[in-house]
Structure 1
Amino acid sequence: MSVSTSRRGFLKGAAASAAAVLVIGAAPSGVMAATNGFDTTMLNPFVRIASDGTVTAIVKHFEKGQGPATGLTTLIAEELGVSMEAIEYEFAPSNPKLYNNTAFGPFQGTGGSTAMFNSFLQYRQAGAAAREVLLQAASQAWELPVEQLKLEDGVIIGGGETAPLGEFVQAASQLEAPENPRLKDPSEFKLIGNASIHRKDTPPKVNGTAKYAMDIQLDDQMVVAVKRAMRRGALAVSFDDSAALSVKGFIRAAMLPNKAGVVVYADDTWAALQARDAIEVTWDYSAAESRSSEDVYKELMAAVNSEPEYNLTKNDQGTVAAAIENADKVVEETFYFPLLAHAPMEPLTCTIEPTQDGGVVLHDGSQMPTSPHMVLSKVLQLPMEKVQINTMFAGGSFGRRATPTVDYQTEAALAFAMTDRSRPVKLVWSREDDITGGYYRPAFAHKVRVGLDSTGNIVGWDHRVAGQSIAKGTPFEAFAVHDGIDDMSVEGVTPTPYSIPGMFAGLTDTKAATSVLWWRSVGHTHTAYVMETMMDATAAAAGRDPVEFRLAHLSGDVPEQKRMANVLKLAAEKGNWGKAAEGRSQGIAVHSSFRSYVAEVVEISGDAEAGVKIEKVTCAVDCGIPVNPDVIKAQMEGGIGYGLGHAMRDEITLEEGEVVQSNFPDYEPLRIGDIGEIETHIVLSTEAPTGVGEPGTPPSAPALANAIAVKGPRVTELPMVNAGVNFA
């Protein structure tokens, strides 16, 4: 099995150096070693150790701001026995056989908050295996029992001997490491769970040495921009580039083979964008989207007020409906959630560079390297080993860089294919390109009716969901759709940790309005809002405290309910639930997503009419063993801000199929002045680590909505500004 190395070099300077290199990886056959004379691309490496003692973690999950470059490096450093200052990291080359995400199957990728969940044991085992094979080498050299030796802070000591680990790399490379190395007991941890450890990628991002895909500037490169249709489904018929000829740096224009647009080649980014804007394109709109947001809204509302297409809970709908009709009180609400853009700070870009052997290197902030690897191989008609992926930092993603259609990399491949392939081609999207012609969180509607008996207990819960499926018709349908139901449309409604008597849930798929994609926390973005605002509304109808009411439905003995109840109680305690200062209101929400549990208390001042000010958010999170508390807190803060900002004022609207919004002036992100203090409390857990990149987002908006409802309206249609809520 041969694996192509990345352009940055899998073994830095190996060909020019006589230094021995030890490569360790967790594989079914155990841990394997190699010297610089061995073909290291045939291994399954996670740890590389040079004879000068330099340790490098090979990180298979790419860094878009969520922290795997720190987290995975921490695991190796902990088990190996080196400090965080003494270990470096590199992003893994594209090879799903070696670097697959085990949560995805035979596929290399980052997403679904799976990095730590997927890699916790894998990276610890790799670090432990490196430690044990080095101790074996030292044992032989010193003629001492290996049990007398230990490796700490990069130094092997024992039996009166001491030496840096680098002295044993050569000897260790000749040994077979154990298949099941001893993992450290949590009582031995120095790095895992250490709140004083900060991110490895912060210094290069601060000093400017970190390289993003947008930073690529290669000799003799061409920059390309694409003129796309403003309406989904339109096809280019012809174009006139006469006006572009006067743009300095313009090279040429050509229609994409799939007729999705016209690609413009230029010497630099400015020329590419100016020439692109000057080109006139004739479009065929016969199969294009022509509906407005109002049309989509009406279709979704009609769907949730009709018989659902799929029964999610398998409970009899008629029985549940009868229980609600005969209830003492009925709480009913209908909800609407608009299309949302991802709007990462770094717009989409990638560069294809030709190599001397007839292959190519894709320089990309690649979230799912397996997909563009296959696309470039197919479009350019190159064997897989002739395509290399140089994974770089990405300035955010929130799901946007992981499209099933591999949209922007496909554009780059087609643009490169239409040249003589002698020059690098850099594709650039502007922010307007992405917001007006990208992929979106689908619009959804919910309708919920809850029946209560005379004592305030739930006797029936009828929950209808309608929206556009993300997975259907894509390569991900096989694992995300079951019995016709796209799990991503309803996750958070069913299954739910809450014990809800007489619950019926139904789903209706609606006609595609635009290109849709997972958005930070995917279906939980809307299901958590509905579940948690309905729990509040139902508690109010029952005359019960919202925290007590939730806990009553989390009183079971199963781990999911215990953990969810625990974070709910912790957030309430730390957020001084029920003790808000005069003039302030509190709202609470709790949700389980990506195997983690998060509860949040939002405290506000003001009201919907005079203006709401978010004064404080108190967050409690249970994500299993907290590997990097500093990273976890940052991800909770980012997720909370992302969820609040979009719920407050953001939406993507359509007019005759065209997106109205185009940039941050009309698709405004959360600003620092919009929110006060965020306080995060991490549960000390012994459970396996779970996700933190997304779970902070779902509870934030419903907690805010519940705080607003104390003195004002219960907001059921987002964004909140459209429902008459003003923000100070």
Structure 2
Amino acid sequence: MTVVAELPGISRRRILGGALATGFVFAFHLPVGAAGPVQKDSAGERFAPNAYIRIDGAGQVTLVMPQVEMGQGIYTAVATLLAEELDADLAKVALEHAPPNEQLYANPLLGVQATGGSTSVRAFWTPLRQAGATARAMLIKAAAEQWQVTPGSCSTTQGTVAHNESGRKLGYGELVEAAGKVSPPRDVALKDPKDFVLIGKPLKRLDTPDKVNGKVIYGIDTMMADLKFATLAQCPVFGGKVAKIDDEAARKISGVRQIIALDDLVAVVGDHMWAAKCGLDAIEITWDEGKNAKVSSKDIWDHLRAASEGAGVVAKSVGDVAKVLNFGETYDASYEMPFLAHATMEPLNCTVHVTPNSCDVWVGTQIIARAQSVAAKVAGLPEDKVTIHQHLLGGGFGRRLEVDMIAAAVRIGSMVEGPVKIVWTREEDIQHDIYRPIYRDSISARLSGDKVIALKYRVAGSSVIARWLPPAFTKGIDIDAVDSAVDMPYDIPNFQVDYIRVEPPAVPTGFWRGVGPNNNVFAIECFIDELARKANKDPIAFRRDMLGKTPRIRHVLDLAAEKSNWGQPLPPRVGRGVSVQPTFNSSIATVVEAEVDAGGDVYLRRVTLAVDCGFTVNPDTVVAQVEGGMIFGLTAALYGEITLEKGRIQQSNFHDYRMLRIDQVPKIDVHLVKSGEAPGGIGEASVVGGPPALRNAIYAATGIALRRLPIDRQLIAEKKSWL
């Protein structure tokens, strides 16, 4: 990792933008603890100045964690924010999952209690620092009153208040009762970044030791007395139902305890997972496949392509695009992105114990309040009778922003006596996902010399926002589907973005890591490379001339060019491709170097990234996220595609829904720009730039302008562009 000099001219006073890059902002107030500033429980008295902080008599600081850890390092990051302003010992900060409570723990940028959209640090950068600073001020005042000195004569460090002149000290635990009687101050000053002792340092992750020694409990690890195990089969055609079953053979299998047939699924309950799986395999199920039984990928693409030619809703318009495009030669192209599954390392699972008067759910979820709500609805219970036991997630990528697995588990659990763990097989997981939508993005542009003077961009695809967050879907615009299109960084005087909502038949769609910017950055950056070639200009020089109004993007582009040796000679059939992106309030430039053989196979040689994600809480975590996200995105570019035939998903496991193998992963160089901007998102932003940069590397190496993912080796071998 390399850290370079601070980008000049960047103000520290910029505040966080809106949710999903739209200005859709929710007000934030520092939530007080529901039980007041002092709480008593079996552990004794605790100081609870707000919803996030608990300090007990032994001085133990507990952070009530508003976001969930799914590998992105957020437990360490948010604990660092709190410990920095509280002046607590980070190594001694304990973490508790926040309970479902949208009033206290809603994500300020999303308006719901959710972990997603690369918002965790962005959303809680100020609130958690305010929480820590407020508690610290209350502790200082409590100590000052005991010593009969002014608060200004006291200081804090490592969980202790000290009187500077006399040297007297009190640990935070000794001040619990007194601090609880102090009125929380308003507008507490936060530390100047020059005084940070934790933020910005490459600190060790708090969750690593227990992951190494096996103490971490994921949802799938849930165990308890009298636990039964279940697995299930759903109709292979979306929307289909169970017609009949023959379970005679299954009932003879040792360990099978119960067979449950619901309208749309069959579950087998056993003493262990193997018994449940063998029992399910032995059942003969006849499905009523319903209206989607003949749907194929071709049908879905034909539907989308036809719909994409219709009239769109204007999401942004600058200048007079129609006038400029109508009077001159235009360059036109369309780009397509396929369905993708999430394929998290931890398959879907949910453990439930349903009784007539209660429902307990053990699960790892990105959206705990909705998990409680759907469980209550399915169980027919008030929400206060449903307890969600949150766990770490073995990958989320947007899949655990959904609650379908919880609804299914409660339905099954309602028919089982005692607790039951429901586990989806990998095949069920992939074939009954809620998939990344397909998109078709159409672009028309006009050049004047080597300048783009007009560009019209149209996105056609499903609206996840309309289903998942209806208040954010207004005037026919899906704010996610046009993300990184409406805020395209290039200075183009005549510019328009349209959106056409097209819902695919049969296939449910949802958020997938990188969300809307995935399709838009791919289409835009591939198109810009084609325009650069038409203008007979170097792709980086062509971009740079249009980035005068976006200095952060221009800076990372220059840095990526320098560090990747852009312009230096390469062997035959090797190319470098570039991509820039203004995603999740972060500015990133990516250069991929790849080799393409005569048979169309692509070999990744090197990836270079320049990243300005604002103030970095932990640079090591940022680098790790960039590396992981790049591998995730390049995997999708090379192999990722979900297809249908006769209403059925054709892929089922990692043999036909491939991952990038370890020996295929190139060297990834990450160069962080030191910046005073408010933090941007990185976990999803890191996925976005690899696919277009890879495609542009192939374009540079072969002259073949691919316009669809995944990379089509046959087209490369046949030396054909996809037109």
Normalization by structure 2: what TM-score?
Answer: 0.89
**Counterpart in the other structure of 2:174:** 167
**Counterpart in the other structure of 1:622:** 612
**Counterpart in the other structure of 2:434:** 439
Displacement after TM superposition at 1:380 (Å): 1.6
**Counterpart in the other structure of 1:482:** 474
Q: 1:141-175 deviations in whole A, cap 9, x for unaligned?
A: 33332212111122322222234332222332333
Aligned 1:85-104 pairs, distance under 5 A: 85-104=91-110
Q: Report the secondary structure of 1:248's partner residue.
A: coil
**Counterpart in the other structure of 1:675:** 665
Q: Report the secondary structure of 1:487's partner residue.
A: coil
Does residue 199 in structure 1 map to residue 198 in structure 2?
no
**Counterpart in the other structure of 1:687:** 677
Describe the shift of the 1:610–1:437 C-alpha distance in structure 2 as closer, same or farther (beyond 3 A). Answer: closer
Alignment check: 8 A CA contact 1:32 1:176 kept = no
**Counterpart in the other structure of 1:333:** 333
Taking the aligned partners of 1:382 and 1:611, their CA distance within structure 2 comes to 56
Range that drifts further, 629-638 or 544-553: 544-553
**Counterpart in the other structure of 1:456:** 450
Alignment check: 8 A CA contact 1:607 1:708 kept = no
Q: 1:647-687 deviations in whole A, cap 9, x for unaligned?
A: 01121111111011100011011222222211112222222
Describe the shift of the 1:130–1:631 C-alpha distance in structure 2 as closer, same or farther (beyond 3 A). Answer: same
**Which of 308, 311, 316 is matched with 2:314 structurally?**
311
Describe the shift of the 1:32–1:572 C-alpha distance in structure 2 as closer, same or farther (beyond 3 A). Answer: farther
Taking the aligned partners of 2:201 and 2:496, their CA distance within structure 1 comes to 45
Describe the shift of the 1:90–1:154 C-alpha distance in structure 2 as closer, same or farther (beyond 3 A). Answer: same
Displacement after TM superposition at 1:70 (Å): 0.7
Displacement after TM superposition at 1:549 (Å): 1.6
Q: Report the secondary structure of 1:518's partner residue.
A: coil
Taking the aligned partners of 2:428 and 2:510, their CA distance within structure 1 comes to 16
Range that drifts further, 40-49 or 513-522: 40-49
Range that drifts further, 662-671 or 605-614: 605-614
Displacement after TM superposition at 1:702 (Å): 0.5
Q: 1:529-587 deviations in whole A, cap 9, x for unaligned?
A: 1000111110111112212221222212xxxx222222222222222222255454211
Q: Report the secondary structure of 1:489's partner residue.
A: coil
Aligned 1:614-653 pairs, distance under 5 A: 614-653=604-643
Q: Report the secondary structure of 2:290's partner residue.
A: coil
Alignment check: 8 A CA contact 2:529 2:696 kept = yes
Alignment check: 8 A CA contact 1:640 1:697 kept = yes
Give the aligned length: 682
**Which of 521, 529, 533 is matched with 1:540 structurally?**
533
Taking the aligned partners of 1:518 and 1:580, their CA distance within structure 2 comes to 40
Taking the aligned partners of 2:412 and 2:426, their CA distance within structure 1 comes to 20
Taking the aligned partners of 1:411 and 1:227, their CA distance within structure 2 comes to 11
Alignment check: 8 A CA contact 1:379 1:417 kept = no
**Counterpart in the other structure of 1:526:** 519
Q: Report the secondary structure of 2:125's partner residue.
A: helix
Describe the shift of the 1:511–1:26 C-alpha distance in structure 2 as closer, same or farther (beyond 3 A). Answer: closer
**Which of 255, 274, 291 is matched with 2:295 structurally?**
291
Displacement after TM superposition at 1:436 (Å): 1.0
Q: 1:499-523 deviations in whole A, cap 9, x for unaligned?
A: 2233343333334230111111112
**Counterpart in the other structure of 1:570:** 559
Q: Report the secondary structure of 1:692's partner residue.
A: coil
Displacement after TM superposition at 1:642 (Å): 0.6
Does residue 425 in structure 1 map to residue 426 in structure 2?
no
Taking the aligned partners of 1:289 and 1:179, their CA distance within structure 2 comes to 61
Describe the shift of the 1:344–1:580 C-alpha distance in structure 2 as closer, same or farther (beyond 3 A). Answer: farther
Alignment check: 8 A CA contact 2:334 2:442 kept = yes
Q: 1:378-409 deviations in whole A, cap 9, x for unaligned?
A: 22222222212111011101100112xx2100
Taking the aligned partners of 1:458 and 1:495, their CA distance within structure 2 comes to 16
**Counterpart in the other structure of 1:715:** 706
Displacement after TM superposition at 1:295 (Å): 2.1
Describe the shift of the 1:30–1:386 C-alpha distance in structure 2 as closer, same or farther (beyond 3 A). Answer: closer
Q: Report the secondary structure of 2:512's partner residue.
A: coil
Describe the shift of the 1:475–1:668 C-alpha distance in structure 2 as closer, same or farther (beyond 3 A). Answer: closer
Aligned 1:183-332 pairs, distance under 5 A: 183-195=190-202, 197-256=203-262, 259-304=263-308, 306-314=309-317, 320=321, 323-324=324-325, 326-327=327-328, 330-332=330-332
Q: Report the secondary structure of 1:471's partner residue.
A: helix
Displacement after TM superposition at 1:725 (Å): 4.9
**Which of 453, 457, 466 is matched with 2:460 structurally?**
466
Letter in 2 for 1:675: V
Taking the aligned partners of 1:491 and 1:88, their CA distance within structure 2 comes to 37
Taking the aligned partners of 1:677 and 1:636, their CA distance within structure 2 comes to 12
Alignment check: 8 A CA contact 1:31 1:178 kept = no
Does residue 399 in structure 1 map to residue 404 in structure 2?
no
**Counterpart in the other structure of 2:369:** 370
Describe the shift of the 1:64–1:602 C-alpha distance in structure 2 as closer, same or farther (beyond 3 A). Answer: same
Q: Report the secondary structure of 1:79's partner residue.
A: helix
RMSD: 2.4
Q: 1:86-117 deviations in whole A, cap 9, x for unaligned?
A: 22212111111111112222x21111111111
Alignment check: 8 A CA contact 1:193 1:629 kept = yes
Range that drifts further, 561-570 or 42-51: 42-51
**Counterpart in the other structure of 2:68:** 62
Taking the aligned partners of 1:608 and 1:30, their CA distance within structure 2 comes to 66
Taking the aligned partners of 1:340 and 1:723, their CA distance within structure 2 comes to 21
**Counterpart in the other structure of 2:124:** 119
Taking the aligned partners of 2:698 and 2:117, their CA distance within structure 1 comes to 30
Describe the shift of the 1:506–1:715 C-alpha distance in structure 2 as closer, same or farther (beyond 3 A). Answer: same
Letter in 1 for 2:692: P
Normalization by structure 1: what TM-score?
Answer: 0.89
**Counterpart in the other structure of 1:517:** 510
Taking the aligned partners of 1:290 and 1:39, their CA distance within structure 2 comes to 64
Letter in 1 for 2:254: K
Describe the shift of the 1:141–1:506 C-alpha distance in structure 2 as closer, same or farther (beyond 3 A). Answer: closer
Letter in 2 for 1:275: G
Identity over the aligned pairs, expressed in percent? 35
Alignment check: 8 A CA contact 1:470 1:517 kept = yes
Alignment check: 8 A CA contact 1:324 1:452 kept = no
Letter in 1 for 2:512: W
Alignment check: 8 A CA contact 2:38 2:48 kept = no
Alignment check: 8 A CA contact 1:335 1:447 kept = yes
**Counterpart in the other structure of 1:34:** 38
Letter in 2 for 1:334: S
Taking the aligned partners of 1:214 and 1:41, their CA distance within structure 2 comes to 34
Taking the aligned partners of 1:552 and 1:86, their CA distance within structure 2 comes to 51
Letter in 2 for 1:113: S
Alignment check: 8 A CA contact 1:289 1:656 kept = yes
Letter in 1 for 2:382: P
Taking the aligned partners of 2:508 and 2:193, their CA distance within structure 1 comes to 46
Q: 1:327-354 deviations in whole A, cap 9, x for unaligned?
A: 35x4332222111111110001111135
Does residue 149 in structure 1 map to residue 154 in structure 2?
yes
Q: Report the secondary structure of 1:287's partner residue.
A: helix
Does residue 501 in structure 1 map to residue 490 in structure 2?
no
RCO higher in structure (CA 8 A, sep ≥6): 2
Letter in 2 for 1:218: M
Describe the shift of the 1:30–1:139 C-alpha distance in structure 2 as closer, same or farther (beyond 3 A). Answer: farther
**Counterpart in the other structure of 1:15:** none
Displacement after TM superposition at 1:708 (Å): 1.1
Describe the shift of the 1:240–1:129 C-alpha distance in structure 2 as closer, same or farther (beyond 3 A). Answer: same
Alignment check: 8 A CA contact 1:633 1:680 kept = yes
